[in-house]
Chain A
């Protein structure tokens, strides 16, 4: 039996890995889209002017 022979189990693993990879890719795209929408929809005009700058003032 050749060592390179493709077993049915390899196909199954490949299918599983491809599926998980696609889902992770989709998740990344979704987070990116969510972040974009959240940032563009938030009104930052009322945010404190000095927010986050006091620690590094010197």
Chain B
């Protein structure tokens, strides 16, 4: 080697590598996978449960690192992502790739050992889906990127359920569907008020490809579908009175927010700096957290024998 690497001006801290794992996404993954595991009819030994959730979280983090490696070029031009470790020059892309591959292998192998092979397979599939199907293929190709890519974020409760039961079930797929249907309105609201970010990065978000009025219409359509699904879940085995009450209140608020977004045009939105869109986005975070919280409460009540599950 004759050339001295010029990049070693900054030596990464542990926290920079941790940031590659998208800790905020990991929080959601940990919570939804935990709910999936605890809502299942079979109980899991606390040590096995803890280890399995940890390995699911590491797998999710690994896919985050691989996503940052692949998307470093567009992250650099978007305001929201420009401070991520790679575009900020704190970590080299190659390091993110190696970390992602190593943690993917470790997490899948260890989940196979701590829980079961089906859970490990589903974790591997989730990483593959997020990296190859979403990041490499769909994200830069179609405005439906978020719709199909949302599946990657929806798998954790299914994996949690499989950790406990070793098999798939309708209830697990209902939890999957809840996140899957929630993802598009959540991200499209973000795309509305992050304005030029996706335009600058040439990512064909709905706002860029079909325009803002179409995005507002899509948010309302997906929210209506989500409302039907979320309230319908209340009448299944994972639901109950607590869940149903929570779902009715949250979905009424969410639907009202989507309706308001649909009614507005860009002039209205610019007039109040996208207040309605920002509020809807914030509400969407509580929406998912509280729905899964309610499923967890129902599971706990069933565990204490206080409810039979379901409302019917």
| A contacts, CB < 8 Å to B | 9, 12-13, 15-16, 19-20, 30, 33-34, 36-38, 41
The range of chain B's interface size is 10 to 19
**Contact residue among B11, B48, B113 (Cβ-Cβ distance under 8 Å from A13):** B11
Q: How long is the Cα–Cα vector from A33 to B14 in the complex, in angstroms?
A: 26
Chain A residue numbers with a CB within 8 Å of B114 are 34
Q: In the complex, how many angstroms separate the beta carbon of B256 from the nearest chain A beta carbon?
A: 45
With A12-B13, A19-B14 as known contacts, state yes or no: A30 contacts B54, CB within 8 Å. yes
**Contact residue among A16, A37, A38 (Cβ-Cβ distance under 8 Å from B13):** A16
Chain A minimum-CB-distance residue to B113? A34
Q: How long is the Cα–Cα vector from A16 to B10 in the complex, in angstroms?
A: 14
Q: How long is the Cα–Cα vector from A15 to B16 in the complex, in angstroms?
A: 12
* B48 and A34 contacting across the interface, CB-CB below 8 Å: yes
**Additional A-B contact list (5), CB under 8 Å, known A15-B13, A34-B48:** A12-B13, A16-B12, A16-B14, A37-B47, A41-B45
Q: How long is the Cα–Cα vector from A34 to B53 in the complex, in angstroms?
A: 13
Chain A residue numbers with a CB within 8 Å of B113 are 34
18 CB-based A-B contacts, threshold 8 Å: A9-B11, A12-B13, A15-B14, A16-B12, A16-B13, A19-B14, A20-B14, A30-B51, A33-B47, A33-B51, A34-B47, A34-B48, A34-B51, A37-B45, A37-B47, A37-B48, A38-B48, A41-B45
Q: In the complex, how many angstroms separate the beta carbon of A15 from the nearest chain B beta carbon?
A: 6
Per DSSP, are chain B's interface residues mostly helix, strand or loop, or mixed? helix
Q: How long is the Cα–Cα vector from A16 to B17 in the complex, in angstroms?
A: 10
Q: Mark B48-64, 1 if CB is under 8 A from A, else 0.
A: 10010010000000000
Q: In the complex, how many angstroms separate the beta carbon of A32 from the nearest chain B beta carbon?
A: 10
Chain A residue numbers with a CB within 8 Å of B11 are 9, 12-13
Q: How long is the Cα–Cα vector from A47 to B169 in the complex, in angstroms?
A: 31
Q: How long is the Cα–Cα vector from A29 to B173 in the complex, in angstroms?
A: 34
Chain B minimum-CB-distance residue to A30? B51
Chain B minimum-CB-distance residue to A33? B47
Q: How long is the Cα–Cα vector from A33 to B48 in the complex, in angstroms?
A: 9
Q: In the complex, how many angstroms separate the beta carbon of A12 from the nearest chain B beta carbon?
A: 5
Q: Which of B45, B47, B113 has the most CB of A within 10 A?
A: B47
Chain A minimum-CB-distance residue to B17? A16
Q: How long is the Cα–Cα vector from A13 to B14 in the complex, in angstroms?
A: 9
Q: How long is the Cα–Cα vector from A36 to B54 in the complex, in angstroms?
A: 18
- Pick the 8 closest A-B CB pairs, nearest first: A19-B14, A37-B47, A16-B14, A33-B47, A9-B11, A37-B45, A34-B51, A12-B13
Q: How long is the Cα–Cα vector from A15 to B14 in the complex, in angstroms?
A: 7
